[in-house]
Structures are given as structure tokens and as C-alpha cells.
Amino acid sequence: MTGATIWLTGLPSAGKTTIAHELAGKLRGEGHRVEVLDGDEIREFLSAGLGFSREDRHTNVQRIGFVAELLASNGVKALVPVIAPYADSREAVRKRHQTEGTAYLEVHVATPVEVCSERDVKGLYAKQAAGEISGLTGVDDPYEAPESPDLRIESHTQTVQESAAALHALLTERGLA
Ligand SMILES: Nc1ncnc2c1ncn2[C@@H]1O[C@H](COP(=O)(O)OS(=O)(=O)O)[C@@H](OP(=O)(O)O)[C@H]1O
Ligand SMILES: Nc1ncnc2c1ncn2[C@@H]1O[C@H](COP(=O)(O)OP(=O)(O)O)[C@@H](O)[C@H]1O
């Protein structure tokens, strides 16, 4: 089976993790080998000790990109629901895949910040508004939206299943599913 990295970038609570797991289930059911490199889990182990400065986020994204490429080059669909707020960090990951000849898709989960802060799955937007945290992506920290992603998902106008189906259709179109 052909491996690939599918990076889902977007704001906190945009729907990255939910869509990744929905797609993972679908792909596994079809016989694909799949790993979801969840941001929170990675920060507990591979990126333990890193914070949310620009430098630390860049390091985090490069580490995840490295592991994703290793998996993808061994036939795994590596699904990566990680914010990756900086365009140059994402570009470095894309280039690494290109150099290695490994398929790489960038998916922008483009949920507006108003909807994300309403969802507020982890209560981060509320904490930022209460002054308990700062440096929240999309609020008081940068998010550089991809200019030409392979796919843009408007999760606020779709069900989770529709979003995952749109991504699955892209994989099929590219000969990856
Ligand atoms: N200040 C700040 N800004 C953004 N996100 C924050 C912050 N503090 C904690 N969190 C939580 O950590 C998750 C982000 O980790 P990532 O590894 O995906 O981010 S990054 O690419 O390194 O920027 C992210 O997970 P998701 O909500 O799944 O996106 C947040 O829940
Ligand atoms: N079309 C959709 N795609 C993804 N999530 C959606 C969608 N519609 C509603 N949601 C909800 O939005 C929330 C997104 O949370 P999560 O996936 O953890 O976001 P993120 O990983 O981007 O922080 C979930 O509660 C999910 O059920």
C-alpha cells in the first residue's frame, strides 16, 4: 500500500482530531495501515518539555514531520491533526517529503475562530478570555492560514462524516486510497 502524510492544520477546536479519527476508521476498514499522530500525545512524549513559543512550535512540527515521513515511507497513512501555525514550518515538512519522494497532503480545517471559540473543546478560549492563559493560536498568537492547501474543509458547514468523506475523496483522486 502507498503511504502518505496527511497534515490537518487549523485552529484549536477546528475539528482536526475529530476528522482525522473519522478518516482513520474509514481507511482501516478498507485495509490501510493508519497512524494518527495526535498533537497532545506527541507533546506528552516526543515533544515533552516544549511550550508554545514560535521556536518550540517549529521544533514540535519538524519532529512530527520527521516521524510522519518515516511512517509514510513505510506504507502507513500518517494522519497529523496538529495546528502547525507557521507557513515556513509546514513548508519545511512538505520539502522533506518531496526530497524523500513521499506523498504529502496539506488540509486546512478552516473553521472560523468564532465557531472554534464557541466549540471550545478544551476550554482554552474561555481561559484566554478570562486572562488565565495567553498566546492562544488565532486569538493572541499567529495562525498563518495555508494559501493553497490540497484541500480546505469548512467544518462549520458540514457534518464530521461529510468532512472525512471529502478528504477520502481527495485520497482516492490522488491514487492513495
Ligand atoms: N497557547 C496555545 N495555543 C494553541 N494550542 C494550545 C495552547 N495551549 C495549549 N494548547 C493545546 O495544545 C494543542 C496544540 O498543540 P500542537 O502540537 O497541535 O500545536 S503546534 O503545532 O505546536 O502549535 C492544542 O490542541 P488542539 O486543540 O487539538 O489543536 C491545544 O489544545
Ligand atoms: N464537520 C466537522 N468536522 C469536525 N468536527 C466537527 C464538525 N462539526 C462539528 N464538529 C465538532 O467540533 C469539535 C472539534 O474538536 P477537535 O476535533 O478536538 O478539534 P481540534 O483537534 O481541531 O482541536 C468536536 O466536538 C466535533 O464533534
For residue range 127-137, list pLDDT tens digits in order. Answer: 999 999 999 99
pLDDT band per the 50, 70, 90 thresholds, residue 109: very high
Note the Cα 25 to chain centre separation in Å: 16
Of 68, 81, 73, nearest to 39 (Cα)?
81
Pocket of ligand 2 (CB under 6 A): 10, 12-19, 81, 119, 121, 155, 158-160, 163
pLDDT at 6: 98
- Residue 81 Cα to ligand 2 midpoint, Å, equals 11
For residue range 78-97, list pLDDT tens digits in order. Answer: 999 999 999 999 999 999 99
Look up residue 61 and give its three cell numbers: 512540527
For residue range 158-170, list pLDDT tens digits in order. Answer: 999 999 999 999 9
From the CA of 20, give the closest atom in ligand 2: 17
pLDDT at 121: 98
Starting from the CA of residue 123, give the closest ligand.
1
pLDDT at 1 over 90: no
From the CA of 122, give the closest atom in ligand 1: 31
Of 123, 90, 88, nearest to 13 (Cα)?
123
ipTM for the whole predicted complex goes beyond 0.95: yes
- Residue 13 Cα to ligand 2 midpoint, Å, equals 6
Domain 4-173 -> CATH class: alpha beta
Alpha helices (runs of H) in 15-110, residue ranges in sequence order = 16-29, 39-44, 54-72, 87-100
For the annotated binding site for ATP, the residues are: 10-17
Q: What ranges do the domains of the chain cover?
A: 4-173
Distance of alpha carbon 140 from alpha carbon 158, whole angstroms:
27
pLDDT at 18: 98
Distance of alpha carbon 103 from alpha carbon 146, whole angstroms:
18
Q: How many residues does the chain have?
A: 177
Give per-residue burial for 133-156: e unless 16+ CB within 10 Å, then b: beebbbbebebeebeebbbebbbb
For residue range 28-82, list pLDDT tens digits in order. Answer: 999 999 999 998 899 999 999 999 999 999 999 999 999 999 999 999 999 999 9
- Residue 89 Cα to ligand 2 midpoint, Å, equals 24
Q: How far is CA 29 from CA 16, 41, 115, 151, 159, in A?
A: 20, 24, 31, 23, 20
Residue to mutate, 50, 52, 127, ligand 1, most ligand atoms under 8 Å from C-beta: 52
From the CA of 84, give the closest atom in ligand 1: 21
Residue with the smallest CA separation from ligand 1 atom 6 is 136
Look up residue 113 and give its three cell numbers: 475562530
Q: How far is CA 108 from CA 68, 83, 138, in A?
A: 17, 10, 14
